[in-house]
Each structure stands twice: as structure tokens, then as C-alpha cells.
A and B are shown apart, each in its own frame.
Chain A
């Protein structure tokens, strides 16, 4: 199983005898190192250099030259702090919602359905099935389902669950909905791989010791599924914070639901303000690194990384 990697908290340790450093090992590492230098380190350096550029003196729109303009960072934070906050807020809500939906689902597939292997495989296929259709098409389909004249919205209005002049597309609701929907499989699969290995005898032991079902869940199941929760939340939160499709005005978002990805896109493609786009990308990257670092440390699952 490809996803087993998420579940194994203790990697098998090989106690091979200490070898003297051979050039062969270095040679074998070379392709990997080259790859990282070419496709990670070089772009990162270029990104940092771009983020510090200043407009060329006699240049036209989109022309910048090399400088050390640290003000670029202050300027983008001042202008776009609501988008930065909004991105992490939306990502957090979507992650919590995805966890709330995925945990019971993963528990059912991984624990309850153990007796029926066929059902188990079938449900796993159903979780993965949406990936057979493009992410963009699925999001566009939701835009149609949530549109003003759709069956859903007209029925909600008919039963007064929605005000007559209210709408769903272009609101924070539809953006968070889209994020949650699109990232649920990334939450469900790692959860499933940990819950699938849950030793049911622990639960029996809890029962034997007169613990209530909830108590057993809280003190046994939940801690044992922690690696899955951490992996799932990371796989959801990180891409959700940088997502720009769901919040895009062409999909589910509106003018006041734009996230940091949309700001970067606009600065890069329309305004040709490359330093601002690069600075925002680096800020996004740094904030995610800090949040994830603190989270993983608090969750106590360093082995996972």
C-alpha cells in the first residue's frame, strides 16, 4: 500500500555494521542532489533575488532590476495582510471540517468494515474515485450546483433557510466548502491507513476495565490514530492555504474571498509586479513552515517527518 508510509511511526532500523564512507554512496546520491539543486535550490534563490528587486529606472511596466529592496516585504504585508490571514483561516476551517467528515468515514472503512473486505475495498475505491475526474471540472460542477437558479438554492429559499436575496457562489461559504470537498481524500486515506492497523484487543481491554466507549476512544483510539491525524491535517492544511482555484473568481470565490494564491497570481500575471509576487510566495512558505513546525512539535510525532 502506497499510503502505508504515513502510518508507520517506527521505521525498521537496520543495524548494519559501520561502513567507511565510500565514493559509491556519494555517486548514488548525486542524481538526487543534482535534482534538488536544479529544481529546488536554484528556483528558491531566484525567488529570493526577485523578491528584492526594484523597478528599473527607465523601465516600462514589469521591468525590474536587481536590488536589495527589503521594503517589498513590508509593502506586501501592509497591503495584503487580510488575504494572508484569510488564507490561513479558510485553510484551518477546511482542515477541521475535513477531519470531522473523514474520521468517522475512515473509522468505518478501517475498523467497522474489517469483516467485509469487499465492502472495504469498494469504499476505498469510492474515496479515490473523484481523482479520475479533473479537479477543475469537479469544482466547476459545484459552481453550477451552488448557482442562484439551481435546484439547491431555489429549494433552500423556498423553505426559508436562505434569505431571498442571498446567494452561495462567491461567498466564504462556497470557498470553504470547495476546499473541504477537494481535500477530503487527502485526509481520509492517511487516517484509514492508521485505523486499519488499530489492534481491536486494546478496545476490548478498555471495555474489560469498565471504560465507557467515549473514554476508550479518547484514551486509546485517538492517541493511536494520531499519526494519521497529523499526516492528514498536514496534507490538507498546507495545500489548502496556498490554493487559488476554489477562491478564484472564475470558480467558487468572489471579490471578498480572495486568498493569498489569487493575490500572487494577479501580481504575477496581470500587474507584472514580480517582486511583490515573489515576496508573497516566500512569506506564504515561511508562515507554513513555522505553523507546521510548531504543530508537529506539539503533536509529539517528530518521527513522522
Chain B
């Protein structure tokens, strides 16, 4: 009997080819089972030191799809639950995007995908937006694919301050998606004059037990170190970190700081447990919109931190060119302004403010979404840590969170 002709759909053809390759004889199956049991035993013994994974071959030309993992509430959504800018992208390029709110914490996400990354396997996403320091870790270990800047002509719109970062010189591996400032917020009813420095968080007796700080180490420690006069972007080491960690330890054990929280700090601001805190700018825009402009926000005079979540292409992705097209699309100032109008974070795209002026002048004037130069001058980036530093500093910070 003659074999049936292949169906026309290229995706189905691909599936059939894969299925044929996967067909095994009984003997091959048994050897395979034995080998995989041995491999499993070995894998159980070792979680590191494997050979460097290599990038997967790109299938973007034949397969016009991509999967994008991002944080919650981080893109424009309309009332029917669609993403208008993404739909426009699909219409313009023919690339279908599966958008998932799969990231709710850098560490947890890393824990979920690191084993596939180490083997160079597909992690189920072609583009992921992760924070600077996590991108630094992924780049250091070699889990990212190099981006072809010639496919991203709009990258010229990237703000000059973000072009060269220490974890990724020249932006070879990552491109910012949205960013934010870490500063101090306060309850305007209780403190009409504002709380605008870290030192004041520690010294104000009315704030005893009502101060909150973030469980994200680089933000909390960054603000404390800046308050102590350390340039966090520059050259500092164990001594400076220890001084800052001792200060935080003292404030926690004295009861000035009651709690150290991740995203759930917002509930504490709303229910009044926290009256002043180290917080992320975008959250305050959102909380003020929901609760009637209750909180003030400022970047301390001595400095706050600025961070970005960046597009990266994991090593096992076969759709890098599609992702580059997606990045190029979002670096169009008009599109960036459309996203900014919804997500309340800081866009890295130059010219977006002018474009936003046309959509909504009030939005363009909001200093938390389009910060002025004076604010940006006070905002520093926490320098990238080495693997060993990440381990020891992380352990010191966690020991305060755990009360040990």
C-alpha cells in the first residue's frame, strides 16, 4: 500500500515527522528505559556543573508564533479581556502571540525553569520579562540567546541611560520592557508633611511598628545603603553591606519595622497596618487610583533605586526572530504610550511621553509614569552581584526576614 500523502499544513507535517522519529522498536525502547533510568539517577545526584547549553535552531520563518511570559497587570487589557496592542501586532505581522501571566516572582519563576535551561530545553516561553538582577544571573550562567539588533531597528528609541547596563553591556541579551522607581510612600492623612527619607522612617516615633519594607533585597538594602551615603551603582563590598544590614536588623528587632513583605505590602497599606513604607512607584499610582489619592510618594533626597523588567529569549526557544519583531513593535513610541497609559510603570521608550501627550495629557504629566530629570538623577541601579555575593548577601537578608 502506498503511503498516504502528507497533509498540506506545515505544522501537522512537523508533528508527523516528530512522531515518526519517536517510533521505537521494542529493543530500543528497553535500552532507552535503562539509559533513562541511569540518567535519572545521575540527574538526581547532580544539579549543576553541566556543559554549557547551546541555543536552539530558529524556526521563526516557518512558525509564526511566540509565547510570552509576563507579570500580572503588565500590559494593556480591554473590557473583553483582549490585549489591544498585541492584537494589532498579530494583525500587522501575522505572528500569533500566546500571552501568559506566568511570572509572579523572579526567584519562583527561576526555580520553575532552571532545570530545562540547564539542559538547553524549551521552557515553554520564547520571551520572558524578568528583573535586572535575574537577567544578570541568567546572562552570567549562559541561559540567554543573543539578540540580533539589526532585526530591532526601533531599539534606537531606547532611553540613553538604559543602553549600557553592567549586567548586559550593549544590551546584547536583554531589552527593557517596563521599569519602576523604588522610593518611600506615606499616608497623607496621618503625615501631611510627608516622610521623605529612610532616616525618618527609623526615627519617627509615631511610626513605631507601622513601617514596611520590601522583601526584594536590592530595593530595601539599596535605599538603606543610599541613605548611609553609599553609591550602590559603584564600587562597594561586604563592609558597606554589613553596616546596612545591621541597621535593618536593629530596626526590626526594635519593632520600628513590623514586617518585610513582597507584593502583599499593598494590603497592609490599605488596611492601615503600614503607615509609611519602602515601595514601588507603579503600585502607588494604582493604589491611589483605587483608594482616592491616599498616599504620597517620593524618591528620597539621598537616592532611590530604579529597576527594569527586561525581555529575554531563553536558550531553548526556537522563535527568537519573532521575539525580536515583537520587541521592535513595542519600541514604537505610539505603542509604548498606549501600554504606559494602562500599566502605570515607567516606559524605557524615548518619545513615548510626546505620544502620550496626544492620548491623555494628564497621564503624560504624571511624574510617577514619566519621571522628570531631577527624579531620574536621584535614582540609582543596584550594582550586579557575583554568584558568591548573591549567595552570601541573600542569606544575610533572608536571616532577618526569618528572624534568625
Contacts and interface: CB of A to CB of B under 8 A. Distances in A.
16 contacts: A53-B47, A56-B46, A60-B387, A62-B47, A63-B48, A64-B46, A65-B46, A140-B267, A169-B258, A249-B215, A249-B401, A255-B400, A258-B404, A263-B402, A271-B395, A273-B395
A64 B394 contact: no
A46 B391 CA distance: 23
A249 B261 contact: yes
Given A62-B114, A66-B46, A148 B210 contact: yes
Interface string A78-108: 0110110000000000000000000000000
A206 interface: no
Contacts of A250: 261-262, 264
A116 interface: no
A8 interface: no
B44 A269 contact: no
A61 B390 contact: yes
Interface in B128-142: 137, 140-141
B144 interface: no
Interface residues of A, number: 48
A138 B111 CA distance: 28
Contacts of A272: 107, 110-111
Interface pairs A-B: 5 shortest CB-CB: A63-B48, A149-B272, A66-B45, A56-B48, A59-B48
B108 interface: yes
Contact of B402 (A56, A64, A255, A274): A255
Nearest to B271: A147
Contacts of A274: 47
A15 interface: no
Given A65-B45, A165-B209, A256 B267 contact: no
Contact of B209 (A57, A167, A249): A167
A238 B267 CA distance: 30
Classify chain B: how many residues form its interface, as a range: 35 or more
B394 to A, nearest CB: 6
B252 A255 contact: yes
B192 to A, nearest CB: 18
Nearest to B268: A147
Nearest to B263: A250
A274 B398 CA distance: 15
Contacts of B65: none
Contacts of B258: 167, 169-170, 254-255
B259 A254 contact: yes
Nearest to A250: B264
B392 to A, nearest CB: 10
Given A143-B267, A250-B261, A271 B391 contact: yes
A95 B46 CA distance: 40
B259 A148 contact: no
Contact of A65 (B48, B208, B272, B398): B48
B363 interface: no
Interface string B379-404: 00000000100110011001111111
B47 A65 contact: yes
Given A147-B271, A147-B272, A148-B210, A49 B45 contact: yes
A279 B14 CA distance: 45
A132 interface: no
Given A53-B47, A66-B45, 17 more contacts: A60-B141, A60-B387, A65-B48, A66-B46, A82-B403, A147-B268, A148-B273, A167-B258, A169-B258, A170-B258, A249-B401, A255-B401, A255-B403, A263-B402, A263-B404, A266-B402, A270-B394
Given A167-B273, A170-B258, A249-B215, A79 B404 contact: yes
Nearest to B394: A271
A269 B107 contact: yes
Interface string A23-50: 0000000000000000000000110011
B49 interface: yes
B260 interface: yes
Interface in B230-286: 252, 257-262, 264, 267-268, 271-273
Nearest to B399: A79
B49 A165 contact: no
A73 interface: no
A281 to B, nearest CB: 16
Given A170-B259, A266-B398, A61 B137 contact: yes
